[in-house]
Amino acid sequence: MASVNVYLDKQEYGKDKVRLLKVHKDTKVHRVDDLTIRCLLSGSSFTTSYTEASNKAVVATDSIKNTCYVLAKSSKNVDTLELFAAELANHFLDTYRWVEGAHVTIIRHRWARMIIDGKPHTHSFWRDGDETRQTDIFIKRGPNCKGRRTIELKSAIAGLLVLKTTGSSFEDFVRDEYTTLPETKDRILSTCVDSTWEFNVPAVDSVNLIATLSQIPFNNIYDSVRDVTCDTFAKDESASVQATLYKMAAKSIQNWKWLERVSYALPNRHFFAVDLNYFRGTKNLQEHATVYQPLADPSGLISATVARSVGARL
């Protein structure tokens, strides 16, 4: 067989699934941030670790893990995922001059404060479902290894499970020889929301990176996107998941000048009324339906990205 020339096209390496709990004890009312972190490094200097088995440029993944803990101890931004992720990424670029790109993903797991004797408890919490807040940042060193940084930043909600028992229809869709689904004027609508929003962040010098990003109200934007998602889901007289999705995404872009795109992926979790007519003629279809069978699979999947028009920034 003739030899074939190959080359290393791209690479990233680092530490994944770094578990970290930060307890904020600055007041008597404690707060917690329960995080899962991934830090990946890239750059041409790492090529020889793949092609020549040389570890001269390799920062051990254990050192990357330790960095997460050390910075979490000193950082004032752990409760703002985007800023803490930026701190981590910028640290790797500042500390190791041969690193060209740092890619950090952080997942925040929900804890809700316990209500004890009718009052919020100062230091006790319960796990508030599987929904997570997430952020993903890629910071790249500027040309000629200068202090300039380019930033790709997006954040997300994942696993927000919602359901409403009325206010949703599905009619006037294509009917042909493959169609068995009846049209309905009223149905249960349920989905598990995954939403991602992309920020417009200009290139910035390393020394000003955190100060520049601090001007963006990340926590307020997260709360707002979540509120818009729930508010639109609840109030919209939904003609389809597609129509409701578009309203959610468009509203968040209109609310925040920093957002370039908002994406949703909405699996349609089906609930079908059980035909009880076989049991003494019990009515449980259409307007009589109160007992349903949940069917998780197969499910519809509706996804879309809504983007800001050119020149439409507030």
Q: Among residues 109, 154, 251, 270, which one is catalytic?
A: 270
Question: What is the per-residue DSSP string for 235-281?
Answer: H--BS-HHHHHHHHHHHHHHH-TTEEEEEEEEEEEEEEE---TTTTT
Amino acid at 147: G
Directed axis angle between helix 81-95 and helix 218-235, to 10°?
Answer: 140
62 is in an annotated binding site: yes
Catalytic, 119? Answer no
Active-site entry in 36, 47, 48, 61: 61
Asked whether residue 61 is marked as a ligand-binding residue, the answer is yes
Rounded-to-integer distance, Cα 252 and Cα 259, Å? 8
Active site residue 15: yes
Tell me whether residue 61 is one of the annotated catalytic residues: yes
Query: For residues 76 and 74, what is the distance between their CA atoms, to the nearest angstrom?
Result: 7
Query: What's the CA gap between 191 and 158, in Å, rounded?
Result: 11
Annotated ligand binding at 170? The verdict is yes
Q: Residue 99, Cβ neighbours under 10 Å: how many?
A: 22
**Is 205 a known ligand-binding residue?**
no
CA dist., res. 261 & res. 196, Å (int): 8
Backbone angles phi, psi at 219, to 5 degrees: -65, -40
- Confirm whether residue 130 is marked as ligand binding: no
What burial class does residue 290 get, using C-beta atoms within 10 Å of its C-beta: 0-12 exposed, 13-18 middle, 19+ buried?
A: exposed
Tell me whether residue 268 is annotated as binding.
Answer: yes
Residues that constitute the known binding site for O2 = 61, 268
Report the binding-site residues for 5-hydroxyisourate: 61-62, 170, 187, 241-242, 268
Q: Could you list the active site residues? A: 15, 61, 270
- Known binding-site residues equal 61-62, 170, 187, 241-242, 268
**Which residues are annotated binding-site positions for urate?**
61-62, 170, 187, 241-242, 268
